[in-house]
Amino acid sequence: MAGRRSRQDAAPLRVVADKRLFLDDRLIRLGLDELPDAALLIFDTDLRFVMARGAAVQHGGKRPDAMEGRLAAEALEPKRWAFYRPRYEAALRGEVTIDEVTSPDGRRAYAVRYGPIRESDGTIVGGSVMATEVTQLRQSQRAQYEADRRFRLAWTSAPIGMALVSLDRHLLEVNLAFAQMLGEDPDALVGRSLTDIIHPSDQQTDLELRSRVLAGDDEWAVTEKRLTTADGATLWVQHSLGLMRTEDGEPAYFVSQFVDISEARVARESLRQMATTDSLTGLPNRMDLIERAGEWLNAGEPVAVLFCDLDGFKQVNDLNGHVVGDEVLTAVARRLVAKVRATDLIARFGGDEFVVVVRGNDCAARADRVAGHLISALENPVLVGGRELNVGLSVGIAVGHPAEDLDRLLARADAALYQAKSAGGNASYSAS
């Protein structure tokens, strides 16, 4: 073997001592024995152990005094020697080998370096084995791997859309469910800006939400917004947003979850529509009027209320039946709607009563004009089933006072309506 000496020429123990190496230094030997997670083995060119120190030697099932002075083939079990021998021999050829081994009981892992020991002239006089325990590191790595594996499994198989988003609102990574929501290929989405995906009407809301999360006002925020799909359609989603930070606590990226709520929103809107819409005429009902007009008043917006009641409707019902009466109410509703602005509110209040709410700084002056238009809308008969039926309209007007609530305003308009009825109908009366 190249670089090998005979046993007599090498005299490894004496050579090492003569070279004033640390091998016979008792203090260093004692220090090596105290190493809790390492081992140092020195062997000569005959593959005989010169030194075996470190707690890791004992973890390997050997006592140092049972190894030093013995051939490696004798000191080690046959199976382990069959594994180590090529590495020992490589070290005597000047090669360095690094690998990882486990203790006989399989409970400890070691990173091991095999290398040559040379004299000053480069001649190889032996080899060294340095083992460092890496059990905790490997356990930590395995735990991290398992955590990453579980996260990746949840990420890829999640039925909801998920995305990692940079601080400047660019997609870093998306799962398949999110891509399918948008009708896109996952790879094609990476790098895209949310400006291209979030509906224009919801861009500002999204920016504000991210600002709150970045500022720490919300750890995890939830909102509803619209996304634009690949084919230009609008998709309503529930968007959950969280912030991931670095080990130093600095913001790193956003984690977003998207749940398709389009069907649920349609159903919810349908229920709301049913709750706030008069089923006969299609106009807003009493509940919707109270809610919306109340909001205007609370906001300090000037409003005027026109309380309307049909004249002669009881006779139409009595003579023609409620089915015909319902058709008359529907026709009347269409005529009244045509006489108000889109910014005003007209609702069926109940029975043959309708309420119009006019808003704006000119609401007082407009209320009188609107009342005239509403009354004139019923000057001509209503045609139902080939029959001409005559109904009229009486209107009571009340202009809102500062800090006046809606109940009081409606009560004053109703009182004004009574005055219009008392005057013979088909007229309007304004409350003071």
User: Is residue 145 in some structural domain?
Assistant: no
Verify that 281 and 399 share a domain, yes or no.
Answer: yes
For residue 289 the two structure tokens come to 């009027």
253 vs 153 pLDDT, higher one: 253
Residue 119: strand, helix, or coil: coil
- For residues 284 and 224, state if they share a domain: no
Span 211-228, mean pLDDT?
87
259: in domain? yes
Residues 405, 290 share a domain? yes
The CATH number for 195's domain is 3.30.450.20
> CB within 8 A of 129, min separation 6: which ones?
39, 40, 41, 42, 43, 88, 91, 112, 113, 114
Beta pairing partners, 399:
304
Q: Which residue has the higher pLDDT, 152 or 253?
A: 253
Q: Clarify whether residues 221 and 320 are in a common domain.
A: no
The verdict on residue 414 lying in a domain is: yes
pLDDT digits (tens, 9 = 90+) for 401-420: 878 899 999 999 999 999 99
Task: Give yes or no: residues 30 and 61 share one domain.
Answer: yes
| 138 strand-pairing partners | none
Residue 99 sits in which domain range?
Answer: 7-137
Statement to judge: residues 297 and 417 lie in one domain: yes
In this prediction, residues 221-245 reach a mean pLDDT of 91
Average pLDDT along the chain:
84
153 within some domain: no
Residue 373 lies in a domain: yes
Could you tell me the two tokens for 206? 């999204």
User: What would the pLDDT profile of 339-362 be if each residue is shown by its tens digit?
Assistant: 999 889 999 999 999 999 999 899
Determine which helix (DSSP H) or strand (DSSP E) holds 39, and give its type and residue range.
strand 38-44
CATH number, position 423: 3.30.70.270
pTM beyond cutoff 0.85: no
Residue 9 has pLDDT above 50, yes or no: no
Mark 268-284 as b/e (b = at least 16 C-beta within 10 Å): eeeeeeeebbbeebebb
Domain end: 84, 103, 137, which one? 137
59 and 25 housed in the same domain: yes
Q: Which tokens belong to 192?
A: 């895209």
Are residues 92 and 28 located together in one domain of the fold?
Answer: yes
Q: Is residue 150 part of a domain?
A: no
Residue that finishes a domain, picked among 265, 297, 320: 265
- Cβ pair 223, 237 in contact under 8 A: no
Indicate whether 129 and 170 sit together in one domain. Answer: no
302 and 414: one domain?
yes
Q: Is residue 149 part of a domain?
A: no
Answer with the one of 265, 295, 321 that is the final residue of a domain: 265
Residue 238 inside a domain? The answer is yes
- 324 shares a domain with 291: yes
Residue 84 identity: Y
Q: What is the pLDDT of residues 168-216, one digit of tens each?
A: 999 999 988 899 999 999 999 999 999 999 999 999 999 998 998 988 8
338 and 411 part of one domain: yes
Longest dimension (CA), the chain: 139
Residue 380 DSSP one-character state: S
Q: How far apart are CA 37 and CA 60, in angstroms?
A: 11
